[in-house]
């Protein structure tokens, strides 16, 4: 939970720094606050994260993406938010080195992933076909049910359009975000999976890391 609050807090601070502290005028901040509420993040934490954006004593967070290969040819993309890029890249490189992986250059594995946005709303029995027709001009590519929610997927660049379209329809967004979906995955043995997971765990434990995506096929697929 602490890691989740830290990650969302950084998202809020970066969004407020970029587009201002008014969520009504800042779509990215509005989405980050929705995610915070969905994760039951206390209101004080949200307000503190927004305030950090205007605090001169706070270092600026930079959003940096790292790419590389884990053992057994598994591609990895790591999204970070850091106030010290030198520290972050040093840590990331050491994780790869210690776990028999290799940190790559920008663009070395990005082509193996599709960058998508997603938005989740409460499932209140809406007609999926009708909803998709309402959203298709705003960039919706997939609309489906998952547990008690309806999930909408679209291109990364269409996030703002989809967010606005849902709000215009009077639908509250429960949570939203971005994913890098592998265009192809690789099946490994249990022993090989353990090798890759050792690296993934080290990366995910780093405080500067926001999200990690990979091309390893899960055992359930």
> For the domain that residue 106 is a member of, what is the CATH number?
3.30.70.980
Residues 72 and 166 in one domain: no
Query: 121 with 176, same domain?
Result: yes
Which residue range forms the structural domain that includes residue 88?
62-111+183-214
Residue 103 shares a structural domain with residue 156: no
Q: Are residues 148 and 160 part of one domain?
A: yes
The verdict on 122 and 83 lying in the same domain is: no
Residues 106 and 121 in one domain: no
Residue 3 confidence (pLDDT): 84
Burial class (CB in 10 A: 0-12, 13-18, 19+), 159: buried
What is the per-residue pLDDT for 2?
81
Any domain includes 221? no
Nearest residue to 209 (alpha-carbon basis) of 119, 91, 90, 79: 79
| Residue 95 and residue 188 in one domain | yes
The whole-model pTM stands at 0.89
Measured between alpha carbons, how far is 181 from 85 in angstroms, rounded to an integer? 25
Alpha-helix residue ranges (DSSP H) falling in 99-158: 128-135
Q: What is the pLDDT along the chain (221 residues), one digit of tens a residue?
A: 788 899 999 999 999 998 999 998 999 999 999 999 999 999 999 999 999 888 876 668 899 999 999 999 999 999 999 999 999 999 999 999 999 999 999 999 999 999 999 999 999 999 999 999 999 999 999 999 998 999 999 999 999 999 999 999 999 999 999 999 999 999 999 999 999 999 999 999 999 999 999 999 975 54
177 shares a domain with 68 = no
In-domain check, residue 149: yes
Number of domains in the chain: 3
Q: Are residues 76 and 98 in the same domain?
A: yes
Determine, yes or no, domain membership for 21: yes
Instruction: Give the domain CATH number at 6.
Output: 1.10.10.200
């Amino acid at each position: 939970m602490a890691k989740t609050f830290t990650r969302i807090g950084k998202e809020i601070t970066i969004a407020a720094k970029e587009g201002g502290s008014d969520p009504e005028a800042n779509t990215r901040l509005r989405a980050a606050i929705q995610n915070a509420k969905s994760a039951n993040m206390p209101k004080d934490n949200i307000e503190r994260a927004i305030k950090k954006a205007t605090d001169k004593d706070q270092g600026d967070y930079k959003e940096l993406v790292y790419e590389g290969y884990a053992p057994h040819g598994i591609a990895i993309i790591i999204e970070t938010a850091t106030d010290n890029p030198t520290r972050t890249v040093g840590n990331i490189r050491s994780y790869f080195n210690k776990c028999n992986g290799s940190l790559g250059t920008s663009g070395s594995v990005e082509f193996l992933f599709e960058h998508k946005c997603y938005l989740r709303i409460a499932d209140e029995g809406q007609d999926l076909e009708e909803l998709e027709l309402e959203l298709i001009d705003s960039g919706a590519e997939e609309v489906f049910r998952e547990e008690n929610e309806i999930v909408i997927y679209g291109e990364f660049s269409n996030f703002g359009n989809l967010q606005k379209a849902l709000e215009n329809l009077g639908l509250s967004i429960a949570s939203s975000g971005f994913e890098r979906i592998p265009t192809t995955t690789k099946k490994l043995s249990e022993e090989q999976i353990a090798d890759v997971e050792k690296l993934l765990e080290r990366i995910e434990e780093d405080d500067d890391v926001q999200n990690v995506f990979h091309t390893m096929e899960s055992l359930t697929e």
